Structures are given as C-alpha cells and as structure tokens.
C-alpha cells in the first residue's frame, strides 16, 4: 500500500486515510478569467494553501466560515472576504489569481471535517461545529462573550492540539494549546517563533479541555465580546494521527515512533524562542520544509530534512541532526503527524 492508501481503525470500522487528509500539489494557471480545478479525492472542509516557489502568505479556508474567506497563519490579520476558492465533491476550484498565479507552484493540505456545520450547545457559548469524529478533527466557530467561557468542540475525546484565531480583529494572533506544550497555563502563537509561554488564565482560563469543551479566558486572542472566532481541534487516532512531543538529540540520532507512516508532520520547538513552525510532507519530499509563521518560499536544502519511516520519522543525516527548529540537543518539541 502507498502512504495514502493505509487504513486505520475507528468506531465506524476501517477508514481510508486519504479520505480524510491529503496534501496535493498544483501549478497556477490564472489568465484573467479561467479557473483551476484541483483533485483531492474528497470534498475538503479545511484547505491550507502555500506558494512554494516564492514569498507569499499562507491562505487558510474552511467550510464553517465559508470557503471563500481566507485567513493567514503568518500574520495577525482579520478574515478576508475575498472569494478565492470553491469546493467540489472531489476537490476544489481556484477562481482568482491570489492562490493561482500563472506558473507558480503551490501545496494544499486538505482535511475532511463533518461537512455542513451544526449547532453545538455543550459549552457556555454555543458554537457551530463541523466534526470528523473518527479522524479526531473538528472546525469550531463561536462568538466571544464577556467573562471566562467554554466552547463545544464536537469530538468524543479531549483535543490535544487546539488552534484559535480571532476572525474580526487584526492584531490578534493564532493561539495554540496542547498538553505537550505546557497545558492549560501555556500557549504558543502559530504566527510567531516564541517558546511556550505561561500567561496563567488570560487565554485558556487556566483550564484543560475536556472530551466535550475547551475553555477561553477574557481577552482579544480567544474571547472578546461580539468578535467571531474560528478554532481547529485535533486529537490522536491510532494508525492515522498523532499529537505528541519529543526531546531533540542534536548530533545524535533521534527516532520518533507514531505507529504509522506519516504523510505530513508539523513541528514546533516549545522550549526555546526563535524557532519556526515547520511542515514537512511526502508529496513535496521530506528534504523540503515550509515555515508556517512566515511568507518565505519553501526551504530546499540539506539542513532541512526529515526521514519519514513506516512507523514515524527520524533525524539521522549528519547535517540536519542539530537543526534547532526540529532537533536541537535537549530542546523539547511538539508535533502533529498525519498518515
């Protein structure tokens, strides 16, 4: 079987990994009026696009907010109302040049959630949720309110990685929470290179998420009264998805076993400032990384290399073993790996 033809087990039985997540490559073809159709293999609910061959921002689209409204992981900007992307039953079409410049190379990481959003009343705030329970992934939309609150995420297990963005107000970044980056008291920003920071209760209300809700403090990043927010939630699923952590080995071999062959891995150093968020995947080749918190073109050099294996990933090339963004000696890291 190929990396995208593996099966994982769930309560509903065997499910094909490539029906739930797929990284796809395409070349822009905009000539002023045409569209570009990209095949994914399913109707995606979350599409994350990055130009590979030049400096250009990340564009994130989802079906809960409305697929034509990009957010940008490398900035604190508010949601853009431009209509760039429409989905089809098997992929998506690009209808402007924003992520379809003629001749430019792109990567699109595509997730299947639960289709049309449904009302979730599990929290003190109602939310609109599209959840793929078997795949451990949900998209959550809510409107902030005064005081500390909690929000239903639609999954049946506790999320191990939560990413939240204020859609309405520029200047508020992308807050993340994970037990692998310190837990309820700590956060990192997807758009920054900071280490995990302890800000007590002002982002996550000093409260761990549960199998039904996550908590938010009274602040602009996750909870300003009247502002709209979007969240992306993940938890580990045997044979398909893993949220975890490891300690870098520096010049020594570092091996991480996730229980399956990854197609994509997102990395971030939690212990030291100045390290970028990086994504590696098999469709571009694991000698190429993209930085989530910047608009830089794809890195393609010997210092950016991860070996994906049948059971996980490792750093065993002498020139990359000590790369501080992915394997600095004694540093701690969080990762999201998907089959």
Question: Residue 4 gets which letter from DSSP?
Answer: G
Tokens of residue 26, six digits: 């395409």
**What is the rounded average pLDDT of the residues 175-190?**
94
Contacts for 78 with CB less than 8 Å, ≥ 6 apart: 166, 167, 168, 169, 170
Per-residue confidence at 264, pLDDT binned at 50, 70, 90? very high
Alpha-carbon distance values, 165 to 65, 232, 246, 283 (Å): 12, 9, 26, 28
**What is the rounded average pLDDT of the residues 198-204?**
81
**CB-based contact 22:42 (threshold 8 Å):** yes
Per-position DSSP letters for 166-213, written without gaps between them: ESS-TT--EEEE-GGGTSTTEEEETTS----EE-TTTTTTT----SSE
**CB-based contact 96:21 (threshold 8 Å):** no
Tokens of residue 211, six digits: 């199998």
Percentage of the chain lying above the pLDDT 90 cut: 82
Q: How far apart are CA 291 and CA 268, in angstroms?
A: 10
Closest CA to 38 of 109, 112, 115, 142: 109
Q: Name the least confident of 41-55, 96-110, 133-147, 188-202.
A: 188-202
Q: What is the pLDDT of residues 85-119, one digit of tens each?
A: 999 999 999 988 889 999 999 999 999 999 999 99
At residue 170, does pLDDT exceed 70? yes
Contacts for 104 with CB less than 8 Å, ≥ 6 apart: 27, 28, 51, 52, 53, 54, 56
Question: Residue 156 gets which letter from DSSP?
Answer: S
Per-residue confidence at 13, pLDDT binned at 50, 70, 90? very low
Closest CA to 279 of 268, 269, 270: 268
Neighbours of 293 (CB within 10 A): 22
**What is the rounded average pLDDT of the residues 13-29?**
89
Per-residue confidence at 14, pLDDT binned at 50, 70, 90? low
Neighbours of 194 (CB within 10 A): 18
Q: What is the pLDDT of residues 231-251, one digit of tens each?
A: 999 999 999 999 999 999 998
Residue 201 confidence (pLDDT): 67
Q: What is the pLDDT of residues 291-310, one digit of tens each?
A: 999 999 999 977 778 999 99
Tokens of residue 271, six digits: 């212990």
Question: Residue 19 gets which letter from DSSP?
Answer: G
Q: Average pLDDT over the chain, rounded to whole?
A: 92
CA dihedral in degrees (311, 323, 165, 188; nearest 10)?
Answer: 100
The model carries a pTM of: 0.94
Q: What is the pLDDT of residues 205-240, one digit of tens each?
A: 999 999 999 999 988 999 999 999 999 999 999 999
Tokens of residue 54, six digits: 């030049």
**What is the rounded average pLDDT of the residues 172-201?**
92
């Amino acid at each position: 079987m190929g990396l995208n033809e593996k099966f994982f087990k769930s309560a509903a039985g065997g499910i094909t990994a490539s029906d739930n997540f797929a990284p796809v490559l395409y070349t822009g073809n905009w000539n002023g009026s045409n569209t570009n159709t990209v095949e994914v293999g399913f109707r995606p609910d979350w599409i994350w696009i990055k130009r590979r061959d030049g400096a250009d921002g990340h564009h994130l689209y989802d079906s809960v907010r409305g697929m034509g409204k990009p957010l940008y992981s490398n900035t604190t900007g508010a949601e853009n109302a431009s209509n760039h992307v429409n989905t089809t039953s098997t992929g998506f079409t690009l209808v402007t040049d924003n992520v379809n410049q003629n001749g430019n190379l792109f990567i699109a990481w595509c997730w299947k959630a639960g289709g049309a959003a449904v009302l979730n009343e599990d929290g003190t705030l109602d939310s609109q949720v599209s959840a793929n329970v078997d795949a451990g992934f949900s998209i959550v939309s809510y409107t902030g309110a005064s005081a500390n609150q909690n929000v239903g995420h639609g999954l049946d297990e506790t999320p191990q990685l939560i990413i939240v963005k204020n859609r309405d107000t520029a200047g508020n970044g992308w807050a993340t929470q994970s037990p692998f980056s310190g837990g309820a008291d700590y956060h990192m920003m997807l758009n920054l290179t900071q280490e995990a920071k302890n800000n007590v209760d002002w982002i996550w209300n000093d409260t761990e998420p549960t199998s039904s809700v996550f908590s938010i403090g009274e602040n602009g990043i996750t909870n300003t009264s009247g502002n709209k927010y979007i969240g992306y939630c993940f938890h580990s699923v045997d044979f398909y998805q893993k949220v975890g952590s490891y300690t870098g080995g520096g010049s020594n071999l570092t091996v991480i076993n996730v229980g399956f062959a990854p197609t994509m891995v997102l990395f971030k150093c939690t212990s030291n400032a100045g390290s970028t968020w990086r994504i590696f995947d098999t469709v571009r080749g694991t000698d190429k990384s993209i930085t989530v918190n910047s608009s830089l073109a794809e890195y393609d050099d010997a210092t950016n290399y991860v070996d994906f294996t049948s059971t996980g990933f490792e750093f065993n090339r002498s020139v990359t073993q000590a790369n501080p963004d992915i394997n600095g000696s004694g540093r701690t890291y969080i990762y999201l790996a998907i089959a």
